[in-house]
Structure 1
Amino acid sequence: MTAAAVAAKLSQHVLGGQPRGWDAALALLLVVAGGLVEGAALGALQASGLRRLIPRLNRRRWLVVTAAVAGLGWAAASAPGVFSGDSGSDAEPALLVVVAAALGLGAVMGAVLGAAQAMTVRRLVPRPTRWVLVRWP
């Protein structure tokens, strides 16, 4: 998570308050790269923990799927904040709005990640669709 958060802050610095041209492309690349690092770390740790439970797990495939879904999900969630620019206004969204959006995003991304990971274990575990429910926040 640290890599993804640092990438988001770096991209805001690169933009300097206004998204435009190559700066915007570089900022988006930073956010995506940070998200992929976060997703790869998550996938590697999960694969390590699942090694004893699912010995035939293709750890490389697990890592790639997890990195892609979690990483790109993080990047998609971070991009609006990075590209919002500096409007000169100090108004921030209400805490309730931020919490509701975070809960919604967490529920959706948890289900999407669970479904993607279920596809990687579908031949190795009974009823792999339960994986989606296990991943549900």
Structure 2
Amino acid sequence: MPNIPKWSHSLSVRNPRLDEQHIILIELSKELVELVARGPSTDEPIHRLLKEFSDYARRHDELEEGLLAANDCPTLAEHRRVHRAAEAELDRWMASASTESLDRKALVAYFQGWMEHHLTETDMPVSGYMHD
């Protein structure tokens, strides 16, 4: 099972604002995995952290998509599709957490794979279109 990556320069998309947001998303992902590992008695604190992550990720996606659009990225539509799918997945996780029906093990697995995939498979290939 993949781990949440540690930030390194090799993950940079060469835009300081996006890199800083990626660092924050990595940290929020780690917080979420650590929270689940502590085993809270209810899913409510997990829901709160999922909401924080989701809100931040949506703001990040908005900035990223704006830069890609401004720089005429030829794969912008696909990038948006990937973002909308991730947002829908986050909505499903939050809905499960709000009804105390969260599969915590699956949530951890998702977050352990998501961040690395987002950086290496979704963002890095189009980093040339992410400049201000």
TM above 0.5, yes or no, is no
TM value normalised by structure 1: 0.35
TM value normalised by structure 2: 0.35
More RCO (CA 8 Å, sep 6+): 2
